[in-house]
Structure 1
Amino acid sequence: MAINFTGISNQGGVSKNSRTPAEDSTSKTAVDANTSGAGTMAEDTVRLSGTAQTLQNQEAKINGLSDIDQQKVDQIKQAIASGNYKIDSQKLASNMASMDSLF
């Protein structure tokens, strides 16, 4: 039986029928009714909801983003090199203490 998935951009082929033998025997007449006399199989289709398609598109966009904000890294490097990068020791200590309390 051929299965078409619409709305999915990168899909693999479906090679295994997930029906159990009991389901096959009860649905055989339905498959036979949907099959033409030339021996072609009926196709099952799956359609994704608009929400699922939106989530899939957003996931693709997120996967394309870099994990590093290179512009910010370059600004910090430049500030360190020029001697203008100041460290707020109170804020650093507070952040370290709050991280320590997590463990």
Structure 2
Amino acid sequence: MAINFTGISNQGNVAKNNHTPVEGSTTSKASVDANTSSSGGIMAEDTVKLSGAAQTLQNQESKINGLSDIDQHKVDQIKQAIASGNYKIDSQKLASNMASMDSLF
């Protein structure tokens, strides 16, 4: 059985596995035994091995998901500047940013 993934550059890592446990695999021994006993033989199982780049992206995604959406230190600095009257608004920069946002829609 061939599995073709479009957009993946490293398709050489897609292979069949005859129930040999892979590190990090979620296949349990009970399910392997059930497959073997119900069919009278060993059934081939498809597995996918992630490339190094995909593993790096997965690790980075988990780190990003752990970050806060709010930079509390910056929020506190702005609050302090507003309270003390030192917060300056650059009206030209604000207008430019609003115009560039408007062009997105």
Q: What is the TM-score normalised by the length of structure 2?
A: 0.55
Number of aligned residues: 79
The residue identity in structure 2 corresponding to 1:98 is S
The residue identity in structure 2 corresponding to 1:81 is A
What root-mean-square deviation, in Å, do the aligned CA atoms of Structure 1 and Structure 2 show?
Answer: 3.5
State the alpha-carbon separation in 2 of the partners of residues 81 and 12 from structure 1. Answer: 58
8 Å Cα contact 1:79/1:85 also seen in 2:
yes
Structure 2: give runs of 5+ residues left out of the alignment: 1-17, 32-38
Alignment-derived partner of residue 23 in structure 2 = 6
Q: 1:89 to 1:12 in 2, by over 3 A?
A: farther
Structure 1: give runs of 5+ residues left out of the alignment: 16-27, 36-40
* Residue number among 87, 91, 94 corresponding to 1:92 in the alignment: 94
Q: 1:99 to 1:12 in 2, by over 3 A?
A: farther
Q: What is the TM-score normalised by the length of structure 1?
A: 0.56
- Percent of counterpart pairs with the same letter? 77
Q: 1:101 to 1:3 in 2, by over 3 A?
A: same
State the alpha-carbon separation in 2 of the partners of residues 56 and 47 from structure 1. Answer: 13
Larger Rg: 1
